[in-house]
Structure 1
Amino acid sequence: MKKFALGLAILASIFTGCSSDDEETSTPIIKVPASGEITGDFTANKTFAYGNYTLKGMVKIPNGVTVTFEAGSTITCDNATGENGLIVLNGGKLIAVGTADAPIVFTEKSKTAGSWAGIIMYGDAPIVNSAVNPAPQTSTSEDGLSLVYGGSNAGHNGGTLKYVRVEYAGQVITTNNKEHNGFSFYSVGSGTVLENLVSYMGNDDGFEFYGGTVSGKNLVSYGNKDDAFDWQDGWRGQLNTNWYAYQVGTANYGIEAEAKGVNNAFWPVVTNITLKRAAGTVTEAQSEIQLDAIQFKKEGNGDFSNIVIDGYKNQTSPSSRNGGAVQVLDLNTYNNQIAGGKIKLNNVKISNTDNTFISGAGTFTLQASSFNPNSNWSTSASSTGTSLSAGPWATVNGVNLLSNL
């Protein structure tokens, strides 16, 4: 009997010990967020631990310097302190890798659209700026920094951005001379990784590509006042997929594509696109006709497939405007890009939109038969558009930005 009791005691001590060990190993480690101010130009590599930081001024990451932000970090600007933004110069690298549950958020204190310059990245990937110059072409930025961009380095690597959200950017100081977007990519190359990015409630474009070869996967442009996605200078990213635009309040195009008037022999490829315009959304500039899901101008082109377009209706107030799925603005773009087979729109599903085609110049009639060969245009009722998973990375102030997909 004593041996039996002793055995029970030994077993009890073993199981008690296991329970204690389990409790110790399962206790969550609470990570205290760091804090600090980010100002001035970086001069050496820097890693910012998970935390809450203040960004002050037009902060630059120069050639040879890598700046890293850990997942879950929040970086806040204050418009009252002046012009603020994060600029990655050619040769510099930004490593901002968040997760679906712990995104990296760049925001502004007042939560007012157009309060800061957003994230600007420069590279030396190819652009087009002239129809006659065969040498690597360059141009000058429109962000007020007046920096030269362009080159021949198609594989330029400006870093990795994953699960990053930019809020309330798109500061416009002087139209076409000093204006910013949520994300601005100046001749950024294919070595750069852009995945699961959100541009939220900006005052200009959500994403703008100024030439280059970089591609973007899982991009969300929500509530931006100009275009959701915009490019010029002959941008030619080939691996783009899952783009979602939700336009509400004030907005122009879902996609605006142009190539500086150069009849080029290349084009971007984008699959799985959803472009939606909320009821009552009006154009930013009432003097312009800007109610189209996709507009091509100045020799802009592209190969697009699995597209959902919804809500691009005619506007009756405060002024009358035609709404449509696809507009070609000028005759050169029609002749060289549509008839030339360089614009491809396949498996398009259109709903709640008053016009399928709009002919911007009035000197041609854009229609399904305009596409040559005809396989460059097709519709499908089963097109699904963008496929994205909700989570904190695409949630702002408790609102799921993907709820209208």
Structure 2
Amino acid sequence: MKTNLLTLLSLSLLLSISSCTIDINDGDGGTVTTPGTTAGILPEGGKLSGEITSNLTIKKGNYTLEGIVKVADGATLTIEAGATFTVSTNVSSSLVILQGGKILALGSASEPIVFTTTAKTAGGWGGITLYGRAPIKAVNGNATAVSEDGNAITYGGTDANFSSGIMKFVRVEYAGKKIGDGTSETNTFTFYAVGDGTILENLVAYKGTDDGFEWFGGTVSAKNLVSYGNFDDSFDWQDAWSGQNNSNWFAFQTVTGNFGMEIEASANVDNTAPKISNITLIRDTNTNPEVAGSTEISAIQFKRQGTGIFSNVYISGYKNLGGKNAYAVLIQDDATNTSQVNANPSKIVVSPLNYVNSDNPLVWGYAATNGGKTFTNTSTVTKVSLPTGAWATVDGVNLLSAL
């Protein structure tokens, strides 16, 4: 009799589990309900849309993403290795982790998490944006600012150690979207006031129409980044971003591209210089800036009190174009030269540096008027070394082949 009772209880529990439903807010005040699935798990082939207000797990498989998907304060979006999202380009789409929300995207080198589009056209969607609660220094030293990604969210906080989650082995393709008149845009990866409790490792930004990676203040660091074929800058920051433990950044600019790195601190003299070890910036032959005749062709540009302490930097392919000079390092204004380059100790350091297959060797360029700086070209610098695998392969092309 005991055996039969246990059997009946087990059968009842099994039936209960198999009839669970998962509710995902559809963004219009209602929900999308999918019967026959385990609660909190998006079914294979499902659509991610609307606002996620409770924990949700996405397993290995193929999915779609449509519209502005927001992970709300208190909710965690978990994405397992091998999940692939095809993003709708018929509507404005992006993935946004709000302040207090978390993403746990845990791919692997052989089974990355991929966001792509059917059309495979640059700028098809808005990319991934994280909001944290770490400190920033915006214009005039303001501790908060309003985002320029179309969401108009106030960002900036006081928790330097704040965590927005983990992203490992994630590749985002064909993102970076112009908004309205083009004065605002999203990037492939955008980090607003993200704290250093967040883990960012082995991320690929592939062929977006704005920056590959951009930081707006915050303290987070990132390792093993690949910025490939992005139209604006490969790496960009402002609002006094201050990550201290960055390493292994690789940019390959091809067809269309502006600066390899564009660096500013929103004109705040008092800022903490971020630190990056091992940087490789390569500009492919016949790469042109977004705007014909633009001067945005140098490898690293510092402006508006931007700072950085960079070591083991390899730069190749930055050639003069249309009468404009390309430099390994370009100091854009007198104020940055005076307050940052000439600070004691200097808060702009790029050394050791190997500048090859490029014009204007051995000199930092100065677009302003108050002097120049020479450097020693160190041949012992080596290119970045990154793990191989599917995480850095698109349509059979190994993105690391230039290394």
Q: TM-score range by the shorter chain?
A: 0.7 to 0.9
2:285 to 254, 279, 285: 279
Among 260, 270, 276, the alignment partner of 2:266 is 260
Question: Equivalent of 1:383, from 361, 381, 392?
Answer: 381
1:326 is aligned, of 321, 324, 329, to 329
Partner in structure 1 of residue 56 of structure 2: 46
Give the direction of change, closer, same or farther, for the CA distance of 1:131–1:78 in structure 2 (3 Å limit): closer
Instruction: Read off the aligned partner of 2:391 and give its amino acid letter.
Output: W
Q: What's the CA shift string for 1:37-86, capped at 9, x where partnerless?
A: 01110111000111111000000001000001110010111212x10000
TM-score, scaled to structure 2:
0.86
* Pair 1:112 & 2:118 matched: no
What do you get for the CA RMSD once the two structures are aligned? 1.4
1:350 partner amino acid: Y
**Which sits farther off after the overlay, 354-363 or 204-213?**
354-363
Structural mapping, 1:88-103, within 5 Å: 88-103=97-112
Q: Distance in 2 between matches of 1:226 and 1:387?
A: 24
Query: How far apart, in 2, do the equivalents of 1:125 and 1:184 lie?
Result: 14
Q: Which residue of 2 aligns with 1:226?
A: 232
Partner residue in 2 for 1:69:
79
Matched AA of 1:293: A
* Alignment gaps of 5+ in structure 1: 1-32, 369-376
Q: Which moved more, 1:256-265 or 1:275-284?
A: 256-265
**Pair 1:404-2:390 in alignment:** no
**Amino acid paired to 2:177:** Q
Provide the secondary structure at the position in 2 that maps to 1:52.
strand
Correspondence 1:350 to 2:355:
yes
Paired residues for 1:4-403 under 5 Å: 34-80=44-90, 82-131=91-140, 137-174=143-180, 177-316=183-322, 320-340=323-343, 341-356=346-361, 357=363, 359-368=365-374, 378-403=376-401
Task: In structure 2, give the amino acid aligned to 1:339.
Answer: N
Shift, 1:35, TM fit:
1.3
Distance 2:117 2:377 in 1: 41
Worse-matched range after superposition: 153-162 or 168-177: 168-177
The answer on whether the counterparts of 1:258 and 1:297 sit within 8 Å (CA) in structure 2 is yes
Q: Note if contact 1:309-1:351 (Cα within 8 Å) is conserved in structure 2.
A: yes
- Equivalent AA in structure 1 for residue 166 of structure 2: T
Match of 2:4 in 1: none
1:174 CA drift (Å): 3.3
Structure with the greater alpha carbon radius of gyration: 1
Instruction: Note if contact 2:265-2:271 (Cα within 8 Å) is conserved in structure 1.
Output: no
How far apart, in 2, do the equivalents of 1:132 and 1:192 lie?
A: 24
Q: Is the 8 A contact 1:144 1:177 kept in 2?
A: no
Query: Distance between the aligned counterparts of 2:199 and 2:206, measured in 1?
Result: 20
Q: Give, in whole Å, the separation in 2 of the partners of 1:273 and 1:386.
A: 6
Distance 2:309 2:232 in 1: 23
Identify the range of structure 1 (59-68 vs 264-273) with the bigger mean alpha-carbon deviation. 264-273
How far apart, in 1, do the equivalents of 2:209 and 2:182 lie? 14
Per the TM alignment, residue 286 of structure 1 is displaced from its structure 2 partner at its CA by 2.4
Aligned-pair CA distance for 1:132: 5.6
Q: 1:232 to 1:175 in 2, by over 3 A?
A: farther
Amino acid at match of 2:53: T
Q: Matched residues in 1 for 2:285 and 2:165: separation?
A: 38
Structure 1: 4+ residue segments shifted above 6 A:
none
Mapped to 1, the partners of 2:370 and 2:147 lie a distance apart of 33
User: SS of the residue aligned with 1:365?
Assistant: coil
1:273 Cα shift? 0.5
**Aligned pairs, number:** 358
- CA displacement, residues 213-243 of structure 1 (integer Å, 9 cap, x when unaligned): 0001000000000000000000000110000
Give the match's secondary structure for 2:196.
coil
- Measured in 2, the distance between the counterparts of 1:265 and 1:164 equals 30
* Residue 364 (structure 1) shift: 2.1
Gaps in structure 2 of 5+ consecutive residues: 1-42
The structural deviation recorded for 1:265 is 3.8
Aligned counterparts of 1:286 and 1:365: Cα–Cα separation in 2 = 28
**For 1:86, what is the secondary structure of its paired residue?**
strand
User: What does residue 17 of structure 1 align with?
Assistant: none
CA contact under 8 A between 1:299 and 1:337: conserved in structure 2? yes
> Equivalent residue of 1:35, what SS?
coil
1:365 CA displacement:
2.6
Distance in 1 (CA, whole Å) between partners of 2:183 and 2:291 is 17
Within 2, Cα distance between the matches of 1:150 and 1:234?
Answer: 11
Q: % of aligned pairs identical?
A: 48
Cα gap change, 1:270 to 1:389, in 2 (>3 Å): same
Shift of 1:359: 3.9
